[in-house]
Amino acid sequence: MSAPHMTAEVDTPAARLLGWDCLELWVGNARTTAGFLMSVFGFACTAYAGPETGVRHKASYVLEQGEIRLVVSAALEAQSPIAAHVRTHGDGVHDLAWLVDDARAAFSAAVSRGARPVRHPWEEVDDQGVLVLAQIGTYGETVHTFVDRTRYRGTRLEPGYGTDHLPPTPVGPPVGLKAVDHVVGNVEQGRLDDWVHFYAHVLGFSPMLHFSEDQISTEYSALASTVVWDGKRVVMPINEPAIGRRKSQIQEYLEAYDGPGVQHVALRTDDIVASVDALAARGVRFMEVPDTYYDEARQRLEGVELPWADLERLGILVDRDPGGHLLQIFTETVTDRPALFFEIIERRGATGFGEGNFKALFEAIERDQARRGNL
C-alpha cells in the first residue's frame, strides 16, 4: 500500500472507529423501558444517571449483555430535547455511538468532509479521568457520538452515572446475546444513494452489498437496500421504500416514526435455539413464519445439518451464502408506533443478511401491517 493512500485512509472517521460504544434510546419512560429490556431480553442494568446522581434533566439506565450496551433515557422536564424527540417520533433509537481512538480527529475529519455537526467536541471529567465526546448527524434526527475513552479509566458510561441502588436483575433463563451484528436505518424514497454517499465518502465506510427493489419485493411491498460497513465491526444496512402494489413497510415506518430512523438492531448469539427459547419464555413476541416456509428452506439449505424441528418450533429463519449459513429471527416491533424491532442472528460462516429470507420476512411483516389496517 502506498504512503499517500495510507494517509488518506487515516483521515477518514471510519479509520478511527474501534467498534460500537452504545446505542441510546430516547423514550417516554426510561424506568419501564429499561425494566422491559431487562425482563424480556435478559439485559442487566450496570449504571444509572438521574437526580440521585446529580443529573437533573434526564433519567438514563445503562443495560448490558455480552458486549452489547444500550442506554435508555427519558426527559425529566418538558423543554428537554428528549421530550421533543419522543413527541415527534415516539420511542426510538437516537444515538448510534462509536468508540474511537480520537474523538476530536474523528469529528473534524467528518465535518471537513461534509458531515453535519450536532455538538462540537466536549469533555466530561470525574475522578476516573477525562472522556472526550463529539456528535454528528445522520439520517433523520439520529446522531453518531464519537466516544474517546483513552484518558478515562472508569467502567462507567460517562461522568454523572452511578452504580448504587440499580434495579435488580429479573429472574429468567440466560439469553446469551453477545454483540451488535448490524444496525439498520430506513430513509425516504430517493434518498438511499445520498446516505450511502454520506457513509462512503464523508465517513469512509465501504459499500458491502446492494439489493435492488427487484430483488426485495413481494406482491405488495418493495424496497431497496445498501449495506455499508467500516471494514471491521460496524455494519449498517440502509433501506428506502419503493413503489409496490400497496404501501411499503419502509413507508409505513417513515410515516409512523415521522421521518427516517433506526428500523432494527440485530444482536448476535452463538446458540440461537437456546437464545430464542429463553427469549420466548421471557415473553418476547416474534414475527410468525408462513407455514410453507420450511418446505422451501429445506430445499434451499439442502446438505446443511440443522436442527429443523427446533427451528420450526421457534420460527427461526435460515439462509446460506458462499461463506456458510446463518440463522435469524425478528421480534415484533417493541415500540407503540410500528417502528423499532430487534433481530437475533447466529452466523455459521455466512456474512450476508438473510437475503433468501427477505420474501418470507416481508410476507410476515405484511400480515402484521394488514392487522393494523395499513396495507
Sole window of 20-28, 160-168, 206-214, 342-350 interacting with Fe ion (rule: CB under 5 A): 342-350
Question: Could you say which residues in the range 44-63 bind Fe ion, by CB under 5 A?
Answer: none
- Which one-letter DSSP state was computed for residue 165? S
Using the rule CB under 5 A, is 266 a contact of Fe ion? yes
In the complex with Fe ion, the residue whose CB is nearer, 24 or 343, is 343
Distance CA 189, CA 6 (A): 36
Using the rule CB under 5 A, is 327 a contact of Fe ion? no
Least separation in angstroms between residue 55's CB and Fe ion is: 34
Least separation in angstroms between residue 240's CB and Fe ion is: 15
Q: Compute φ and ψ for 274, nearest 5 degrees.
A: -65, -45
Sole window of 23-31, 111-119, 250-258, 264-272 interacting with Fe ion (rule: CB under 5 A): 264-272
Using the rule CB under 5 A, is 319 a contact of Fe ion? no
Neighbours of 87 (CB within 10 A): 12
Residue in 110, 108, 107, 103 with CA at minimum distance from that of residue 130: 103
Least separation in angstroms between residue 262's CB and Fe ion is: 11
Least separation in angstroms between residue 346's CB and Fe ion is: 13
The maximal CA–CA distance of the chain, rounded, in angstroms, is: 60
Using the rule CB under 5 A, is 318 a contact of Fe ion? no
In the complex with Fe ion, the residue whose CB is nearer, 107 or 229, is 229
Distance CA 231, CA 209 (A): 12
Buried b (16+ CB within 10 A) or exposed e, 5-32: eeeeeeebbbbbbbebbbbbbbbbebee
In the complex with Fe ion, the residue whose CB is nearer, 43 or 353, is 353
Using the rule CB under 5 A, is 343 a contact of Fe ion? yes
Sole window of 10-18, 135-143, 155-163, 261-269 interacting with Fe ion (rule: CB under 5 A): 261-269
Output the nine-digit C-alpha cell for 63. Answer: 443495560
Distance CA 345, CA 8 (A): 34
- Asked if residue 136 lies in contact with residue 118, where contact means CB atoms within 8 angstroms, the answer is yes
- Which one-letter DSSP state was computed for residue 154? -
Output the nine-digit C-alpha cell for 199. Answer: 457513509
Using the rule CB under 5 A, is 181 a contact of Fe ion? no
In the complex with Fe ion, the residue whose CB is nearer, 115 or 238, is 238
Using the rule CB under 5 A, is 344 a contact of Fe ion? no
- Asked if residue 237 lies in contact with residue 226, where contact means CB atoms within 8 angstroms, the answer is yes
Least separation in angstroms between residue 77's CB and Fe ion is: 36
Least separation in angstroms between residue 328's CB and Fe ion is: 7
Least separation in angstroms between residue 5's CB and Fe ion is: 32
For Fe ion (CB under 5 A), the number of binding residues is: 2
The alpha carbon of 26 is separated from its chain's Cα centroid by a whole number of angstroms, namely 14
Least separation in angstroms between residue 28's CB and Fe ion is: 26
Distance CA 293, CA 164 (A): 48
In the complex with Fe ion, the residue whose CB is nearer, 267 or 297, is 267
Question: Could you list the residues that contact Fe ion (CB under 5 A)?
Answer: 266, 343
